[in-house]
Structure 1
C-alpha cells in the first residue's frame, strides 16, 4: 500500500522551510520505503512499514529533526483514486480546481461560510474528507479560498491544486 503525506504549510513564505532531500531522509528514517517527493510544497509518497498512526509519527519526526511543528494528512492510493474519480468539476486548467484535504469530514455548515452566492464564480462541493473548489479566476483572487483558509475549523486542512492531486494519485498507484 502506497500513501501520500500532505504536509500543511511548509515551504510557503519564510517559515517552515524543509528541503525535499531532508524530508525524504526523515521519512526513510522511520523505516518507510520507496520514498518520493513531489514539488517543494510538502508532498511525500511512500510505502509504510508496520502499523500505527503514520501521520503522527511523521509529524513528530519532522518536529524532532527540524524544530517545525507540521500537521500531516495522509491519503492512501485508493483514497486518492477516489478523490480523482469524484471530482464534480470539469478541468480545463488544473490550477483552477483545487482540493481542500481535511483531517476529518465536516458538514458544509461547519465551514461557517453561509450562503455561497457572494463567492461566485467560485464553487465548492463537499465530499467526505475533501472539499472540491472551482476557482475560475485563480486561487490568488478567490474570496472563497481566502475565507476557507482563514477560518478556524475544528480540523486540519491543506490545499492542493488539481495537477498535484492527479500526480499524487498516479504516484500512489
Structure 2
C-alpha cells in the first residue's frame, strides 16, 4: 500500500525535523519507497501494514528520535486523491489560499464548522474527516478559522495542508 504521512507542526514553533532525517527514520522503520515532499513534514512510503499501525509506529519513532509530542495522519494515496478531488471551492483564485484541514476528532470538526465565518472573507465546508477552507493570502493566521486551528487544544486532532502541496504529494 502507498501511504501519505502528514506530520503536524514541524519546522515551525521550535520543532525542527529535517526531511533527510525523516526519510532516514522512515527507512529505518522498514518502510519502502520513502520520499519526502517539501520541508513541512510530508512523506510517501509503502507498507503492508494498515494505516493505523503506520500512524502509531511513526508517532512513536518521532517522539523517541526528536523528543516532541508528535502527531501524524496517514492516508492511502487513493483516499487522499478523493479528498483533494472533493474540494468544494473554486481553486487557484488569485490572492486566495486553498486548504484542507485533516481532523481526527469529529467533535473538533463540528466545532470548526460551527464557527461564524464571514463568507466574503473566508469559507469552509465539511468533508469525510476534513474541513475544506479558502482564505485570502496574508489572512490565514488572523482569520476566524485560522485563529481557531492555532489553539493548543487542537494540536493532537488536526493538521492542515495547502491543496497545492497535496497535489505535489499525489503527483
TM-score (norm 2): 0.86
Cα distance per residue 1:97-143 (max 9 Å; x no partner)? 111011244475433744334x6420000111111101024424423
Unmatched runs of 5 consecutive residues or more in structure 1: none
1:32 alignment partner in structure 2: 31
Q: Answer yes or no: is the 8 Å Cα contact 1:84–1:169 preserved in 2.
A: no
SS in 2 for 1:12: coil
| Corresponding residue pairs, total | 168
Q: Distance in 2 between matches of 1:77 and 1:41?
A: 18
Q: Which runs of 5+ in 2 are unaligned?
A: none
Which sits farther off after the overlay, 133-142 or 31-40? 133-142
| Counterpart-to-counterpart distance in 2, 1:82 and 1:112 | 20
Q: 1:72 to 1:131 in 2, by over 3 A?
A: same
Q: Aligned to 1:65, what secondary structure does the other structure show?
A: helix
User: Could you tell me which residue of structure 1 aligns to residue 150 of structure 2?
Assistant: 149
So what's the TM-score if we normalise by structure 1?
0.85
CA distance in 1, matches of 2:72, 2:170: 17
Q: 1:88 to 1:140 in 2, by over 3 A?
A: same
